[in-house]
Every structure is written in structure tokens, then in C-alpha cells.
């Protein structure tokens, strides 16, 4: 039996069952507090110490580093362990796909990772846990210990470009895959969202698993509105059983 190459583009919706809120859904962060978007916008972050202080408090209070993978993350990893070629292209920065058991080399983090920090001056890197420990100890805007520069998460903030190498690898996977699953993504943030169109253009079966409509629904072979925590494992079981082409 031929095993299809399965690409999974995951957005914030896949991690809500792990206690990490999404951004644009009905209860999303940006809808509840539009000002919060400034905390992850490069221009504001770099230019306003108060924005940075609020951002560090948000990171400390979110508890995201303590989140655990949920059934959807585990189902993706289980499909890979079952011998199906799987590649994860994730818009998330939480690292939960890797914690669920996906090999690091098979996960492309399009928007970086929140599990480490980088100096915007000398580009030194370190664990986010260490920076948050400094916040806990009373530093409201911890700087780089190597050069005194501004620290930020190794995430792609609004106003920053995605890593062209990572994006190029993701585009190659989208072109090569037979099945492309967009799960928990509004498919509104480009260029990552455009990968769904790239896959469809190159003949992949496009499946969208998301609570709300997306701009790519009309191009999809299948649209699933059921809760991700149950719908995605069921879909991946079908793929693992070789019936991936059955709607």
C-alpha cells in the first residue's frame, strides 16, 4: 500500500485544548484585547519599554511553557510512528508537536519558538525559562547578559519576516504532499496560509479542520467543523488505515 506524504499545517486552534488561547477565534486574544497585539509587534516591542514589560508579564502569566500536548498533537505523532510520511508545518510557537513525539527534523516552525530568547543586538540565544526566572526575581525587562541588548522570544513578531529557508522548505513540502491538512488555522496570516493553496495547486487533497470558515474552504476537498480534539484523531486514523481518499 502506497503511503501518502501528509503535510499538517497547524494553527493556534490545535493547542487550545492544551490551555493555550488562540488569537482570532470567538474567544481569541486579539478580539478580547486588540491592544495585546502590540505586545508581539516588533516596532512597538523594540521602541517602548512599557510594551516590553507588559509582554514579559504576559509570558510569565500565560503558563504556556507548562502546557502539555493534547489528543490532536498526539494523533499526528502516532500517525508518523505508524510509518506514514508526515511533515508538520506549524504556525504555533509552543513546541507541543515535538513534546508529543514528532521528530524535530519533521517539524517546521514557521513562526519560530517561544521556548527560547534571542538578543536583538548580538543575537545570543538562551532558554526562555532562564529569562522568565529573571522576571520572577524582579527584573521587569531582562536584557542580554552578553551585551545589554533587548531580549525577545525567538518568535516571528508582526513586522518581522519569516525565515526564508524554513518557508522554502515548507513550500517544497506543500508542493510534494498528497494530503494537506490545515488544522486550527484561520488561514488568514500569510505567507503561511498560502501553503494551503500551493498544495491544492499541485494536486494535493486539501482538508480543513477548523471551527470557523477560512478563505480556502471553497478549494478544500473536505471541510470539518467538529472539535479538533476528536475530529483530527479520527481523520488521521482514516489516513493511517489507507482510506485517506474517502470523504
Which of 73, 97, 111, 190 is catalytic? The answer is: 111
Q: What would the grid cell of residue 159 be? A: 513586522
Percent of the chain that is helix, strand, coil (3-state, to 5):
45, 20, 40
Contacts 24+ apart (CB under 8 A), 158-166: 158/37, 158/40, 158/41, 158/42, 159/41, 159/42, 159/43, 160/42, 162/110, 162/111, 162/191, 162/192, 163/112, 166/108, 166/109, 166/110
Nearest-angstrom CA–CA distance, 125 and 136 = 19
Residue 215: closest CA among 187, 180, 174: 187
Our answer to whether residue 111 is catalytic in this structure is yes
CA dist list (Å): 173 to 36, 93, 102, 179:
33, 20, 16, 10
Torsion of CA 151, 171, 108, 229, to 10 degrees: 110
Residue 97 and residue 106 in contact, taking contact as beta carbons nearer than 8 Å: no
Burial 77-101, CB ≥16 within 10 A → b, else e: bbbbeeebebbbbbbbbbbbbbbbe
Q: Residues with catalytic annotation?
A: 111
Amino acid at each position: 500500500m502506497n503511503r501518502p506524504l501528509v503535510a499538517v499545517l497547524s494553527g493556534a486552534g490545535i493547542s487550545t485544548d492544551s490551555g493555550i488561547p488562540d488569537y482570532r477565534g470567538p474567544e481569541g486574544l486579539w478580539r478580547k484585547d486588540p491592544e495585546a497585539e502590540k505586545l508581539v509587534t516588533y516596532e512597538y516591542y523594540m521602541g517602548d519599554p512599557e510594551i516590553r514589560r507588559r509582554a514579559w508579564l504576559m509570558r510569565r502569566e500565560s503558563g504556556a511553557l507548562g502546557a502539555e500536548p493534547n489528543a490532536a498533537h498526539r494523533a499526528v505523532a502516532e500517525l508518523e510512528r505508524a510509518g506514514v510520511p508526515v511533515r508538520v508545518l506549524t504556525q504555533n510557537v509552543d513546541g507541543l508537536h515535538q513534546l508529543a513525539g514528532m521528530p524535530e527534523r519533521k517539524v517546521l516552525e514557521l513562526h519560530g519558538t517561544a521556548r527560547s530568547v534571542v538578543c536583538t543586538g548580538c543575537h545570543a540565544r538562551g532558554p526562555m525559562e532562564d529569562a522568565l526566572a529573571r522576571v520572577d526575581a524582579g527584573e521587569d525587562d531582562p536584557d542580554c547578559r552578553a551585551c545589554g541588548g533587548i531580549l525577545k522570544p525567538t518568535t516571528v513578531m508582526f513586522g518581522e519576516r519569516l525565515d526564508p529557508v524554513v518557508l522554502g522548505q515548507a513550500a517544497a513540502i506543500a508542493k510534494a504532499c498528497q494530503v494537506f491538512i490545515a488544522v486550527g488555522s484561520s488561514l488568514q496570516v500569510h505567507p503561511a496560509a498560502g501553503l494551503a493553496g500551493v498544495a491544492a495547486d499541485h494536486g494535493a487533497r486539501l482538508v480543513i479542520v477548523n471551527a470557523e470558515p477560512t478563505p480556502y474552504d471553497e478549494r478544500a476537498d473536505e471541510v470539518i467543523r467538529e472539535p479538533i480534539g476528536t475530529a483530527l484523531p479520527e481523520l488521521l486514523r482514516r489516513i493511517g488505515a489507507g482510506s485517506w481518499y474517502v470523504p
